[in-house]
Amino acid sequence: MGHSYIVYAPLLAGMATIVYEGLPTWPDCGVWWKIVEKYQVNRMFSAPTAIRVLKKFPTAQIRNHDLSSLEVLYLAGEPLDEPTAAWVTETLGVPVIDNYWQTESGWPIMALARDLDDRPSRLGSPGVPMYGYNVQLLNEVTGEPCGINEKGMLVIEGPLPPGCIQTIWGDDARFVKTYWSLFNRQVYATFDWGIRDDEGYYFILGRTDDVINIAGHRLGTREIEESISSYPNVAEVAVVGIKDALKGQVAVAFVIPKQGDTLEDREAARDEEKRL
């Protein structure tokens, strides 16, 4: 991802690239926006985690800078939750385009190709399959195609387009067994959960192994995290499963509030428990 978007592609397109190495909060949480203002950056690429870190701080740290040159923010590397997407879109006032891809793919599997696809971005969605990818959602048990808004495993019908992984060095059999042997079909398994809405937009729900089993119910940790992160005082949240004698596992959430806020509103916490 870093090679493709930060090094090779900009060079091929004759573009100048500024690479910032360091925390987005040091020496203060305005460091990125000082760079955008100083060098008139028009396209920016980062990861959702960095945006969630910045979400903890007052938006004045961003809005106090002249960001008129900035045209678009691209995000990738992990699922972009809807509350974070809404916050950064409103704060920056520019399109926020999520990308979905893997190390194995080498370039986006899903995105909205700016200047080629005029569909609006949708909060929490990386968009639609890119050219050359025949993406499917399959039921994890039956292997049958999923319906609209039905959760399934994201797979790609072969052959894969150019740029994607072709084998594992010195171990072709392992490559086939790992990626191409599910569901007795010639499909490449991403091992990610996803859903597709009625307009063809996809939403990534996390890795298939990020699942906890509570009283026989298999729940994705990201789905719980996204629900909690929509609470206005929450900056970051991580959910894990711990052993429970009665239910097998229970979910535990580690929550970081926004700077200057607290999470001591018991009534709001009870409302969130009911919503979950």
- Per residue in 255-276, pLDDT (tens digit) is 888 776 666 666 666 666 666 6
53-65 burial code (b ≥16 CB/10 A, e <16): bbbbbeeebbeeb
pLDDT score of 6 more than 80: no
Please indicate whether residue 223 or residue 55 has the higher confidence score (pLDDT): 55
Neighbour count for residue 24 (Cβ, 10 Å)? 18
Please indicate whether residue 165 or residue 22 has the higher confidence score (pLDDT): 165
Residue ending a domain, among 52, 82, 98, is 98
pLDDT score of 164 more than 90: yes
Please compute the mean of the pLDDT values over residues 228-232 and round it to a whole number.
79
Q: How many percent of the chain have pLDDT more than 70?
A: 92
Domain assignment of residue 103, yes or no: no
Strand partners, 194: 152, 204
pLDDT of residue 272: 64
Confidence of residue 223 (pLDDT cuts 50, 70, 90): confident
Number of domains in the chain: 3
Please compute the mean of the pLDDT values over residues 102-130 and round it to a whole number.
89
Domain assignment of residue 199, yes or no: yes
Domain assignment of residue 119, yes or no: no
Please indicate whether residue 80 or residue 32 has the higher confidence score (pLDDT): 32
Please compute the mean of the pLDDT values over residues 7-20 and round it to a whole number.
86
From 39, 96, 46, 98, select the one nearest 67 (Cα to Cα).
39
Tell me, yes or no, whether 230 and 204 share the same domain.
Answer: no
Neighbour count for residue 108 (Cβ, 10 Å)? 25
pLDDT of residue 8: 83
Give the CATH number for residue 13: 3.40.50.980
pLDDT score of 189 more than 70: yes
pLDDT of residue 125: 92
The whole domain housing 177 covers 130-208
Tell me, yes or no, whether 145 and 196 share the same domain.
Answer: yes
> Lowest-confidence range among 33-42, 49-58, 67-76, 217-226?
217-226
Domain assignment of residue 244, yes or no: yes
Taking a C-beta distance cutoff of 8 angstroms, is the pair 153, 168 a contact?
Answer: no
Q: What pLDDT digit, counting tens, does each position of 50-103 carry?
A: 898 888 888 888 888 999 999 999 998 888 888 889 999 999 999 999 999 998
Tell me, yes or no, whether 26 and 6 share the same domain.
Answer: yes
Helix (H, G, I), strand (E, B) or coil at 62: helix
Please indicate whether residue 142 or residue 273 has the higher confidence score (pLDDT): 142
- pTM exceeds cut of 0.75: yes
Domain assignment of residue 79, yes or no: yes
Strand partners, 157: 134, 187
Confidence of residue 206 (pLDDT cuts 50, 70, 90): confident
Give the C-alpha separation, 11 to 87, whole Å: 31
Rounded mean pLDDT of the chain?
Answer: 87
**Between the CA of residue 169 and those of 140, 163, 190, what are the distances in Å?**
28, 16, 19
Residue ending a domain, among 186, 208, 230, is 208
